[in-house]
Amino acid sequence: MFLRQYYSHKSVGIAAYAKSLFNASKQFRSVKSNVSVYHFANSSRFCLLKLVFSTGVKVTIVHDVYPRTKPFRWLAYVFCSLIAIFSTKVIVHSNFAKVSFLRFSIVSPRKIQVLQIPYDAVDLSLKRDLKKVLVLGGITRNRGQHTYLPALEELLQNGYKVHVIGFMLDDEFKTNARRLGINVRGYLPDDKLIYEIATSRVALVLRQSSVGESSGMVALCHSVKTPVLVSNIGSLKEQVLLPNRIPLNSKSFLSLVKQSKCRPAPAHQWSVFVEVILREFK
């Protein structure tokens, strides 16, 4: 059996998932079934070779649909088409991602199944700082997070401490954020990231545009019962229930932060996620 580590990119290679990942992998191996499971993210395209040359039932989990840089968007047609041809079943994490995948491949919609990102909720029993707000995920110009700076400034003016955690590829955002008094911390190791999320009042996952991705960071927040607010766009809006969706171009989400509660969209635990896949092919 083959189960690729689910969140392979360093920004979502979450230590909190280690136990559930191990149990899921063990569960696949313990079942006498010729089912192979592949996860495709930007950092795991080499799995395509395994997918093409392996035999038996092949289930492919697609986390990202589009290449992130426009000059190489044509690769989406290649990847999605090959995945569609050589997979028995394709799993995506949102209806938005399903529509995106269908745009880039010739495949029957019945071959694609939508399953929300799984997570195992745990209580780490850590004291929360009710004034700490996290902005999670990579900051890039094309995602448009700089447009949310006025709303983040409002949080600072109301006594909140705002921390930005994730890889930083927008120097202008970093400069302006630090000028306002936002703590731009960049990438954190898994153990520190878990601690920061579990001890915060709320986390924010912000976008003005989407390249088709869902967010492992949202599932991570849910796993440690931290409220998370997301931009009302793409796959993100399908990961949380109302009112945890921030309108695009919003200049204020102070009231949402004050009233924030953990409102995950229905999602399986890891063990059930595995069972759903295996049940399909018994």
Please, which residues have CB within 8 angstroms of residue 244's CB and are 6 or more apart in sequence?
Answer: 227, 228, 229, 230, 256, 260, 261, 263
CATH class of 129-258: alpha beta
Sheet holding 228-231, edge to edge: 183-186, 161-165, 129-136, 200-205, 228-231, 245-246
Please check the confidence at residue 118 and state whether its pLDDT lies above 90.
no
Please check the confidence at residue 171 and state whether its pLDDT lies above 50.
yes
pLDDT band for position 275 (cuts 50, 70, 90): confident
Tell me the average pLDDT across 60-72: 67
Pairing of strands 200-205, 161-165: unpaired
Tell me the average pLDDT across 15-38: 49
- Output the CA–CA distances (angstroms, integers) from residue 53 to 45, 56, 243, in the order listed: 14, 10, 45
Please, which residues have CB within 8 angstroms of residue 34's CB and are 6 or more apart in sequence?
Answer: 55, 56, 57
pLDDT at 277: 78
Tell me the average pLDDT across 200-217: 83
Tell me the average pLDDT across 14-34: 46
104 vs 254, higher pLDDT: 254
Sheet holding 57-62, edge to edge: 35-40, 57-62, 89-92, 112-114
Instruction: Reply yes or no: is the peptide bond before residue 247 cis, omega within 30 of 0.
Output: no
**Measured between alpha carbons, how far is 65 from 210 in angstroms, rounded to an integer?**
11
pLDDT at 45: 54
Q: Where are the domains of the chain?
A: 10-118+267-280, 129-258
Please check the confidence at residue 180 and state whether its pLDDT lies above 80.
yes
pLDDT at 219: 86
Query: In the chain, helix, strand, coil percent, each to 5?
Result: 40, 20, 40
Q: What percent of the chain has pLDDT over 90?
A: 37
Please check the confidence at residue 261 and state whether its pLDDT lies above 90.
yes
How is domain 10-118+267-280 classified at the CATH fold level? Transcription Regulator spoIIAA (3.30.750)
The H-or-E segment that residue 274 falls in is helix 270-280
**Measured between alpha carbons, how far is 218 from 222 in angstroms, rounded to an integer?**
6
pLDDT at 7: 31
252 vs 18, higher pLDDT: 252
pLDDT at 268: 85
Give, as one character, the DSSP assignment of residue 67.
-
